[in-house]
Amino acid sequence: MNSVARRLSRLFRHSGFTPEPFNNGHHQMQKLQQCRGIRVKVIGGNLEAALGLMQRKMQSSGIERMIKQEQRFHIKNSEKRVLAQKNLERKIRSEDLARKLKAIMIKKVRGL
């Protein structure tokens, strides 16, 4: 039933934003499974335009943010708790410093 439903949905789905597999015709799974990723067509051999379009698509999709927040090693839950506390303290300290600087600047300006 699931395979039949997928085929029927595939018949009616013709959106331009979903990358569909190339017509290889020899691989059975490619027909049933939707392709993943971002695909851009190079029109008229203009590679620069295609690359620019791809960059915009990747940024809008959020993959760039995931790359920035990459996590390469496993972290224990206890370590996560400690790290969170440290981050919070650092945040509070920076806010206090900002508030002090602001007061000093105001005092200076009024003094003049």
Q: Is 24 in the site for other proteins (CB under 8 A)?
A: yes
Q: Confirm if 35 and 44 have CB atoms less than 8 A apart.
A: no
Q: Are 31 and 21 in contact (CB under 8 A)?
A: yes
Whether the CB-CB separation of 19 and 35 falls below 8 Å is answered with yes
Cα(80)–Cα(40) distance, integer angstroms: 39
Is residue 66 at the binding interface for other proteins, with CB under 8 A as the rule? yes
Of positions 3, 71, 77, 78, contacts other proteins by CB under 8 A: 71
Residue 105 in contact with other proteins, rule: CB under 8 A: no
Smallest distance, other proteins to C-beta of residue 7, A: 21
Residues at the interface with other proteins (CB under 8 A): 19, 22-24, 26, 36-42, 45, 47, 50-51, 54-55, 58-59, 63-64, 66-67, 70-75
